[in-house]
Structure formats: structure tokens, C-alpha cells
Structure 1
Amino acid sequence: MTVTAPEMLVGASTDFLKRFSPFNRMEPDALHFLAHRAALAFHPRGSEILTPEMGQARHFFIIQRGKVQSRQTGPASVTEYSSMTMGPGECFPIGAVSASRPSTNAYVAVEDSFCFQITADDFMQLMQMSPVFHLFCTQYIASLLNQSRQQLQSTFSQRAAEQQTMTTPLAQLIKREPIFVGPDCSARMALEKMAESGIGCMVIADDAQRPLGILTQSDLLRRLLLPGVDLSLPISEVMTANPHQLPCSASAYDAALEMATHAIRHLLVVDSDGQLQGVVSERDLFSLQRISLRQIRAGIESAADIESLRRASQDIRQLALNLIAQGIGAEQLTQFISALNDALTRRIIGLALEHHELYGIDFAWVAFGSEGRHEQTLSTDQDNGIIWTCPELQDAQPLRLRLITFAREVNDNLAACGFPLCKGNIMASNPDLCLTLDEWRGRFGSWIREPDPQALLNASIFFDFRVLYGNERLGDHLRAWLNKSAKSNSAFQRMMASNALQVAPPLGRIRDFVVDDDGTVDLKKSGARLFVDVARILALRTGVESSSTVQRLRRAATKMGVPNEEVAAIIDGFHFIQLLRLRSQHLDTEHDDANDNKVNPETLNELDRRILKEAFRQARKLQLRLKLDYQL
């Protein structure tokens, strides 16, 4: 039964629509058009609203009251019931109406329900009238994520007003015209110009104003004063060549990550032609931050003891929480946390090396798991190991014992800085994880040749690795060998794929989510892991060398010919789950707390619940692709 809303009810329809995205941001004339064209239809419990057998989708539906179940049809499904329950404010079928094709899902009323509906022609006209609606339909989850970030920022509006936003373009942070000298300028004249201008660095540029090098105040003592350099020499002979630079359009966050990663204090800002526009310093980026990156990194670099590094670890968490409040995305946040934690780990290793005689031993300290993927959250334990080489004619066992003794001190000091010892003993102090390059190849090879359950579990942990300290070539050699071995073993890939499908997205048949006994969803085990496991398999299959989940998905998708918009939606889903994990982790909780990755969906606002459902739906699509590819 369908009833067209009379004029007196249009206002009520408009008020209803304004409660939900994207209609709450839709242009007034477009919203008026929608409210006038919408007809309200009743669908009794158990009735089919739309199915593939009905042919080309002729209506776009918006649920006004009740619940509608969206169920996959056809022989291919990841679980027996690949379904999702939808409630008021949610709409369907966007893809089918947009493409003028039958729906691939069946939509059934779970309970007595009312839905607004407009014709496919009105839907297309609405897309043309409203950029907001058009963006929503073409970039569904990205549009929702943007609103969620805005909502989060408004929650922290007072804090955001007090602090510099990290999304500000660098062009807006440049405070003066660029100051530079040519490469033939004498060192003395360059220093005099620095003093006159009151700046902390001097840029050296060519005639076209393209940067060639930089000399900072911290360089003066080491490069000029102590060596007694003749100040009449050209500045080009003492400058740092090929200075780090970013385009004007890059954000303050991009600059902060670059500084943290490369341990630098100044970044050159250039236009699209590579011409110098100015210099951004740490002080520019973080003078308004309550805890500054410079303070954290300076504290790490100058730390003479573990107590100083423990304080730096707490500061990293606090800065990350400040950035969450500013609406920084999950990918940037996890990279930021990883970059600073990398610096912390390297300093801990450096302090430990002062107490151990390892000179002449070629080794690499390796991170596994989330740290190996650049995906650390605020709660994580240790997963690390050592790759080393034994010189010819030397006994390996004494060298191994020295490395293990050194690793034990590093593991203990990491624990003192808030990174608990791994309950599974996945640490470099474990003799089974302090292996030569040949031994690691043998270990990986045995898992690939005989993929029993334990081997598959090991592969899911240890195949996500990267070098944090030492000889990076050891990691490169192991990665190249691993990719070659795994890519040529389809049976191993198939077993990995089967293992990755053991956990299904927690989408309910009747209720929105399948929750644990305590009413929560584990966002790590039932969320992020689903994306991570599939991305690992796709990377091994296509020979992608990155250990990052997002990079694996992007690069593998390119090689496999997956449409950009499809992989973008999958990545957006992964990012939102990561962001929810970060938001549920607090400063006063211990690292790796049992509840750190759990969220009660009932406590989420309606927008975030909606995005979480869509994120799990993207995980299900990713698993379905894996199932079809390996015929599981």
C-alpha cells in the first residue's frame, strides 16, 4: 500500500529526513524536491520489498520505520547468511538505481515497516540537483566518514579552538617571504644573513629559486666551528644537499610525520614548479600543541636513561589523543604513532648497545605484527625478532648468545616504557626468533611447504615484518625470498585464504550486530583482522613488497584490475574500524588492555553505528572476493 504524502505532511517528512545523513546536509531546494516526490509505502513483516527477480530497480527507498534485512542472493556467499539489518534513515539500493540494473541483494521487511520511495527518474534528478547527495551516492562510506570526523571535532570544539589544526595546508603556515642564498655565497655571508633575519636555518637555492641545500643552527658547531672551516668557502661545501621538502598543499600533519620519520626540524615548502615558497619549522607546527613533537622527539634523542624514555612514551599517547580530537584520520594517526614509537625503540636499542659488545655482528632488529605493518594503535605489546649473519669460520652459538643477552635488555626496557612483554614470547630474546638469514628462510619455507594450523598462525604474524634498526638489506633479502616462495605455492595461498575466512564480519541476521556475551564487538579480532588477513594473501599472491595493509590493498588492487572506487571503499572501512579502536583506547589504560579493542555498538551515535555496519559490509565483500578467487 503506497500513499503520496499530502502537502500538510511534507513538513513532517522533511523533519524526519533532517535527522539522518546525507539529508541533514542536503541543499534546501533538493530536500524540498525529495520531500514532495517521496511516497510512503507500508511493507508487512516477511514481505519482499525488492529482489533481483523483480528486474531493473525502479525505486530508491528510505526506511522511515521498522527494520529491513538486506541479504546476498546467488550461490556465492562468505557465510550461510550474508545479511545486514537496516533501520530508520538508511536507504537502498544505491548501486542498482544508479546503474539502472536489478539489485544484487534481496530486501525483506523483518518487521512491519514503512519506507519512503522515489522513482529512479526522481533519484537521478536529485543526484543532479544536490552535490551532497551525489557525493553520498558515489562515495558512500567516504562521505559518512567525513561527517563522523566533523562530528568528533565538534565534540572537542573547545580544544580544537585552542589548538592548531593538523589539517592546515603548509601554505597557510608560511609567515614570511622565502630567505635564501646562492650556492656560491660564502659561509660567512650566509651566517650574517641568518643573524640579520633572525632565522634558524639558511636555504641554498639556484637562480630559479629551486632548493639545493640547507644549513641549520644545529649544523654550525659540528660542521663549521669545531672543524675550523674557512668561512670564506662557498656555502655549498658545508650545506646539507637535497633537503626535505613538501608541496604547499601538504598538511601540517604531513610535515609532522616527515619530521618525526627523518628526525629533522625544518621542512622546505615548494610550489608545483619546485620553487621555494618558505620554510616550516617544528615551532610553527607545534607551538600551539599542548605537547609538542619537538619536545617528545628531543626527549627521545637526548634520553640518557629508561625513565626519560618512559615519560616520552606517555607523551606520545597524549599527543595522539590530541590529534584524535582534531579529527586526524586513522591511517595518518597509526603512521604517526608508529614513527614516534620507532624512534623510541631505536633509542632503547642504542642505549642497550652501550652495554653489549656487538661490534662486527651484522644484524637487524625486526618488528612483526601491527608494528611491522605501521599500524600500531595506543595499545600494543611487543612483537620483535633479530635477523643476523654469521661470518665464515666463526662459531654461531657464542654470537647468538651475545645477541640474545642484548635483546633481553631491550625487551625489558620496552616493557618499562609501556610495551608489555609478549604473552606468546614473540620477542627477540627468544632463541627461536634470533635467527640467521638462512635460518629465517628455512623457518618461513617450512611453513609454506607444510601449512598446518600452527604454520598458518605463524605466517599471519611473522610475514608482516620490517627492519627498525640495523642492516635493512637483511630484511629486503628475506622479503624478496618470501614473496618468490609464497607466490609460486598456490596450495599455501589457498590454505591461508581458507584460514582467513574462519571469522565472519559480526553483522546480524535480525539485529544490526552480532555481539559477544558482554554486549561488545572486538574491533581487532572481528574487525581489523579481516582486512589485514586478506590484504596479506593478496600481497603474497601479487608480489607486493609492502607490509602495510592499506598499501597491500592499493597495490594488489592495481595489479588485479580492481576498480579504484571499490578498493577506496574497502580502505575507508578499514580506517574507520582503526579509528574506533583508537577512540576506545584511553591514556589511563595499560597497553594491551583486554578491553581496549572492544566497543559496545549501543553506545555509538547513529552515524557511527551506520558507518560501522558499512565497514563490516566492506570486509564481507573483501572476504567474498577471496572466496571466489580460491573457490572455497
Structure 2
Amino acid sequence: MSAQHQDVLDFVAQQAPFNALPESACDYFCHHLEVIYVTRENQIQWLDSVNPKLFLIRSGVIELVAPDSEPVARLTTGDYFGYPSLLSGEAIKNRIEVKHDALVYMLNQHDFDYLRREYKAFEQYFVRAHSNRLLSSKFQHHSDSWSERKIADLMTRQAVTLGPDASIGECAKTMTEHGVSSIMVVQANEQDTEQLIGVVTDRDLRSRVLAAGIDANQSIAEIMTAEPKFIFENNRVFSAMHLMLKHNIHHLPVLNEHHQPMGMVTSTDLLRQQKSDPVQLIGRIYKASGVKDLKRYAQEVPELLDGFAYHIDDISLIGKLLSGISDALTTRLIQLFIQQHGDAPSRFSWICFGSQAREEQTLHSDQDNGLLLPNDLNEQQLDYFRRMGEFVCEQLDVCGIVRCPGNIMASNSECRLSVKGWLDRFAKWLATPTPEAMLNCKIFFDLRFISGSSGLFADFSKALSALKPDQLFYRALASELNLNSVPIGLFNQLKTQKDEQHHRYIDLKRRGIVIINDIVRLYALQGNIRYASTLERLDALTKTQLLSKKDIFDLKDCWRYLTQLRLHAQLSGESLPSNCINPDSLTSLERHQLKEAFYLVRQAQQAASFKFARGSL
């Protein structure tokens, strides 16, 4: 054996997956590879859809670039590329850009397929690599559509701010100088950082100053809108549109994660974005004159979703859209009830649980809601909220959001509780983690405010955060993880169920998505993370040491992939149980990807069970 060949053999043997394969696999690769030198001058000749190859970089730097010129990956020594087309047979879409001339080992399709057949671990390595590439790249490179843009992308200037003691005249002058239609009113907190306390708009100057004859020397604290609605810079444009429609506002402050002012988004800014049927539908719901209109608008959802679902990159937006529609229907029904029966006799907070709280609803989601009420209401006041709960839940059912089989609805007196009543219930579940208590925790700890008094809900949330689960609770909740399993059997084969017509299927929700939600909820509770959304919880977990970044990345990708399959199965109208898919309808590569997703979920499930159930916190 020549020294050159031995050098190649030594290098390849150190690279995955060959470092875990028999020597014969490495020998075969080295005897059949071709050595090429890739430069800027010849870079366009190597990626050929008609004759795809596997490439292993020995030295140099190559960047993989998407058709939209966005970088996909930066590849260096030991990295592979070219394998997606070898696995799928699909045309090559990406291109390479050489950053530093590269020495590359190249293997043809025939020899790649031989190694796949002979060495299962070789095939699994590249299927897994392709799954990660496929799952992540789809969600890492966003289009320019409104649905994919973050609020921060719309910011064209820094926040224009004044203190509450500034005069009305000074405010008008500042707005004119900066060419803006609003001012953010800020005040320094104990840490000497500016916090938003109010907003003054040009409409306020007209209606609250000029029309009312207010002296321009008075402070803007007298005319500002205190405690205004706001949005965070990393939220999507869709969320801003929804919030502005819900509250009929035209100026929305944008804050960073420390609640410091970043800027202002206006309705004009949003109108410049591509108009959207979903947003228009939500707007019509908020303006509906009665239940009849709401029912008609709700019937548009399946067709709207069918046309919308295939034009976005981030599948989580579908859940936000459907949850936004449920929020809008609920809010408008509450308003209609109040119009018919008079103002509420006290503060109240309409809250939701489960998939609506996580903003992960599908076409088949049912109701999970309740009422949070002040302590010590009298019978007459309680009767008002009984009628509100019954009315809203009944009309949601009429609009197609079916009743909860478990009766977790505000029409049920057990779900219309005072702040003390809800806190006592949560405290009991935490203290006595019975199987029933664990089931309730899975439902009720996914909690979100919908309508009514945000202050009442904030007080409740603060008190709820003070309830600290003990080790026994975490062990019990972790043990619950093992009551459900991913549908993978011996030899990594998919395990299916059969219906009465002998159709084979896999329940993507129960056997995959629910497990991910349960895992993430468990870690979020330990980290005292109060977000309800699974993806937001995972984002928040990146700032803790509870999960590695790789585990967080894998869970997010698996959740997105399984959710996407679930949605497409619902839209396809197959005669299968809800949330289910027939694996025979998938391509060979898609089945590999499904197995890989389940494999990663099972790993995370086992790790969480070991960490919490064994008391290794």
C-alpha cells in the first residue's frame, strides 16, 4: 500500500460514520473514491443532478448556498455534501461557493448505494444528516412574505421617547421634528433603564387636547394611554396584525426582551406588507354583528387554510392562525354577551388551556377554556358569569369549535373559579401527584389569557409562579412520560395500528407530538418558564442549562416535522382517524425521516425520564 493511499485511509477511518463501521467499509470507500481539487474556477461543474455524487472535504472551505443565495452551511474538513440527491433522487437545488480551495474525496451513486445496502449504520448516518438538513433549512431560511417576517424587520428608526413630565407642546414639537405620529412615554426603573409606561398619538393630540381645550403646557401624563399593548421585537408580523385588530389600535410599541422600547409599528407599516386572507378573516370576526355572521366566517376556515398552508415556511404559524381565529371568536362572543346582558359585575379573565393556549390548534381541536374570577363574588355575580360561560361555549360549538369531551369549559362550574379556587386546585395537584392530578397538570399548566382583565390574570400568574413543585411531583410527571411511546419496534420498524377497515395508520399526535409537548412542559416547569407555546418554551430553555442546544434544536425540528405531516394528513382528507397518517403513503425517504424524528423523540423521552424520575436534578 502506498503512503498516499494509507494517508487517505487513515483520514477516512477517523470520520463519521466510518469510525463506527468495520474496516471493510472504509477500505471500500477508499478504493472507489476519486480525488478532486475544487476551486472558484471549477466549482460549478461538480454538482450534477444527472450524475450525483457524495463529497467528503479533506481540506479547504466550501459554502453551500440555496437558490435564493442564502447560505445553507459552511463546510470544512470532515464535512459531507451531495448526499440529499443520492438519497432522494431529486434534482440538486443548492450550489457551492469555494471560500478556500478544497481537496475533496468524491464517491459515485453506485458505490454509495452499495455501502447503504451493506452497512446499516452508514445508511442511518446519512438519512439522519439529511433529516436534520431537511428539517432545519426549511425553517431557518424565511421568505419575504409577511408571515415569515419578524417585527424587528419592519423597524426603520429607533424609538422616539419622552418622559411623563414633558409638556403636550413639547410632545407635538418632538413628533413634528422626527416625522412620527406617536411618542413612547418612558420612565426609568430601579435599574435606571427606560420602561414603557404610555403612548401618545397624533389622534390623542386632536381628540384629547384640541377638542377638549387642554392647555399645551400640561404634562403628557395627563393625556397618554397608560399601560399600552405592546409586542416584542422577535414576534412575527402576523402576531402584530392580530393584536392590533383585536384591540382596534393603530400604534403598537415594540420592546426588546428586557421590556425596553425599540420602536413603534403602525397600521400603515403593516398595510405595506402583503395582504392576507387570514388576517382579513380575523378582522371580520372582530367586527361581526352577531352569531350568525361568526358562524359564516368560521365556515371559511378549512378552505382558507387549504390555500394558505402550502405557502408558508414556518408550520407553527398555522397553529397560531387557527388559535388566533379561536381567540377572535371567543372575544367577539364575550362582547356580544356583554352587549345583550350588560357590563360584567366585576373583573374577569377568560382563559384557555391545551392546544389553544399553546397556539398549536388544528382543524380538529376542541374547546379547552375557563373563567378566572375575583374572590368572594356573590351569587348574583356568579350567575352572570355562569350565563356568560354557557353562552360562549355553546356558540363556539355552533361555530365549529366542538365541546371538550372532558368538559374542560367555562360552561362547567369546575372551570369557573376564583383566583383562590384556581390556586388551591393547582397547589393540590402539586402536593398530591396522583395519576389524575398529573393528567390535569398536563392540561391546565398550558394556560393563556384571552379576554377580560389582563391585570387579574397577571396577579394570578404571579401567584401561580410562586407555587414550587417538589421532587416527588417531577418524578410523578416524568413517570407519566413512559405511559406513551413512539411507534418504533424492533429493527427500527414503524409500528402501525389498524382501523375497522384494516387501514394501517400512525397517530402522529398521541405517539409523537404529545410526547414532545410533555417533555418540554416538564423542563419548562422546572425552569419556571411560563410561556405556553412549545416552541417558545424551547427558545426560553436555551437560556438555561436544563437542555443542551442540540437537544433543543432536535425537539423543535421533530415537532415541526410531525406537525407538518399531521396538518397535511388533515388537509388531504384521507379516511383515517383524526391526526393519523398512513406510512405507506409516504416515500421511502419520508419514512426514513419519520423514523428519525421518532428516534430523536424517544431519546429525549428516555433522557427526561432518567433525569427526573431518578432524582438527578
Give the TM-score taking structure 2 as reference length: 0.68
In 2, are the aligned partners of 1:585 and 1:597 still within 8 Å (CA)? yes
After superposition, the C-alpha distances for 1:444-475 in whole angstroms (9 at most, x for unaligned) are 34433443333322222223222322344554
In 1, are the aligned partners of 2:157 and 2:263 still within 8 Å (CA)? no
1:281 paired residue number = 268
2:364 paired residue number = 379
After superposition, the C-alpha distances for 1:580-626 in whole angstroms (9 at most, x for unaligned) are 3333333999xxx9744112233335564444333322321221122
Please state if 1:65 is matched with 2:117: yes
1:514 paired residue number = 495
Q: 1:474 to 1:242 in 2, by over 3 A?
A: closer
1:33 paired residue number = 104
Q: Structure 2 CA distance, aligned partners of 1:588 and 1:515?
A: 19
Q: Structure 2 CA distance, aligned partners of 1:408 and 1:531?
A: 33
Query: Map of 1:79-118 to 2, 5 A cutoff?
Result: 90=127
Query: Shift of residue 336 of structure 1?
Result: 3.8
Please state if 1:502 is matched with 2:483: yes
Q: 1:189 to 1:542 in 2, by over 3 A?
A: closer
Q: Structure 2 CA distance, aligned partners of 1:473 and 1:243?
A: 13
Q: 2:412 aligns with which of 423, 430, 455?
A: 430
Q: Structure 1 CA distance, aligned partners of 2:573 and 2:225?
A: 42
1:305 paired residue number = 290
Q: 1:407 to 1:184 in 2, by over 3 A?
A: closer
Q: 1:560 to 1:402 in 2, by over 3 A?
A: same
Q: 1:367 aligns with which of 335, 352, 366?
A: 352
Where does the alignment leave 5 or more consecutive residues of structure 1 unmatched? 44-62, 71-85, 95-135, 154-159
Query: Map of 1:190-339 to 2, 5 A cutoff?
Result: 202-204=181-183, 215=201, 223=208, 227-229=211-213, 252-253=237-238, 255-256=240-241, 259=244, 263-266=248-251, 281=268, 284-285=271-272, 288-289=274-275, 291=277, 293=279, 295-315=280-300, 320-339=305-324
Q: Structure 2 CA distance, aligned partners of 1:612 and 1:447?
A: 35
Please state if 1:537 is matched with 2:522: yes
Q: Structure 2 CA distance, aligned partners of 1:292 and 1:340?
A: 9
One-letter code aligned to 1:452 = T
State the identity as a percent.
24
One-letter code aligned to 1:376 = Q
Q: Structure 2 CA distance, aligned partners of 1:337 and 1:384?
A: 15
Q: State the aligned residue count.
A: 523
Q: Structure 2 CA distance, aligned partners of 1:492 and 1:247?
A: 33
Q: Structure 2 CA distance, aligned partners of 1:319 and 1:214?
A: 37
1:54 paired residue number = none
Q: Structure 1 CA distance, aligned partners of 2:602 and 2:296?
A: 41
2:335 paired residue number = 350
Q: 1:337 to 1:7 in 2, by over 3 A?
A: same
Q: Structure 1 CA distance, aligned partners of 2:150 and 2:576?
A: 38
Please state if 1:461 is matched with 2:443: yes
Query: Shift of residue 627 of structure 1?
Result: 1.9
Q: 1:416 to 1:448 in 2, by over 3 A?
A: same
1:444 paired residue number = 426
Q: 1:241 to 1:570 in 2, by over 3 A?
A: same
One-letter code aligned to 1:90 = V
- Between 1:382-391 and 1:307-316, the stretch displaced more is 307-316
SS for the counterpart of 2:87 is: coil
Q: CA RMSD in A?
A: 5.1
Q: 1:357 to 1:327 in 2, by over 3 A?
A: closer
In 2, are the aligned partners of 1:364 and 1:475 still within 8 Å (CA)? yes
In 2, are the aligned partners of 1:361 and 1:390 still within 8 Å (CA)? no
Q: Structure 1 CA distance, aligned partners of 2:107 and 2:349?
A: 67
Q: 1:279 to 1:379 in 2, by over 3 A?
A: same
In 1, are the aligned partners of 2:138 and 2:313 still within 8 Å (CA)? no
Q: 1:34 to 1:365 in 2, by over 3 A?
A: same
1:48 paired residue number = none
SS for the counterpart of 2:53 is: helix
Query: Shift of residue 513 of structure 1?
Result: 2.1
Query: Shift of residue 502 of structure 1?
Result: 1.2
Query: Shift of residue 531 of structure 1?
Result: 1.2
Q: 1:363 to 1:510 in 2, by over 3 A?
A: same
Query: Map of 1:524-603 to 2, 5 A cutoff?
Result: 524-556=509-541, 558-586=543-571, 595-603=577-585
Query: Shift of residue 495 of structure 1?
Result: 1.8
One-letter code aligned to 1:307 = K
1:20 paired residue number = 87
In 1, are the aligned partners of 2:355 and 2:361 still within 8 Å (CA)? yes
In 2, are the aligned partners of 1:214 and 1:243 still within 8 Å (CA)? no
One-letter code aligned to 1:409 = F
Query: Shift of residue 307 of structure 1?
Result: 1.9
SS for the counterpart of 1:144 is: helix
Q: 1:251 to 1:399 in 2, by over 3 A?
A: closer
Q: Structure 2 CA distance, aligned partners of 1:243 and 1:493?
A: 38
SS for the counterpart of 1:546 is: coil
Query: Shift of residue 553 of structure 1?
Result: 3.6
Query: Shift of residue 497 of structure 1?
Result: 1.2
Q: Structure 2 CA distance, aligned partners of 1:411 and 1:479?
A: 24
2:32 paired residue number = 5
1:100 paired residue number = none
1:145 paired residue number = 135
SS for the counterpart of 1:451 is: coil
In 1, are the aligned partners of 2:252 and 2:266 still within 8 Å (CA)? yes
Q: Structure 2 CA distance, aligned partners of 1:317 and 1:418?
A: 11
2:392 paired residue number = 410
One-letter code aligned to 2:333 = I
Q: 1:68 to 1:261 in 2, by over 3 A?
A: farther
Q: Structure 2 CA distance, aligned partners of 1:436 and 1:181?
A: 39
2:597 paired residue number = 615
Q: Structure 1 CA distance, aligned partners of 2:201 and 2:151?
A: 21
Q: 1:470 aligns with which of 435, 439, 452?
A: 452
In 2, are the aligned partners of 1:415 and 1:421 still within 8 Å (CA)? yes
Query: Shift of residue 415 of structure 1?
Result: 1.1
1:107 paired residue number = none
Q: 1:243 to 1:552 in 2, by over 3 A?
A: closer
SS for the counterpart of 1:420 is: coil
One-letter code aligned to 1:296 = L
Where does the alignment leave 5 or more consecutive residues of structure 2 unmatched? 1-23, 36-45, 55-81, 186-195
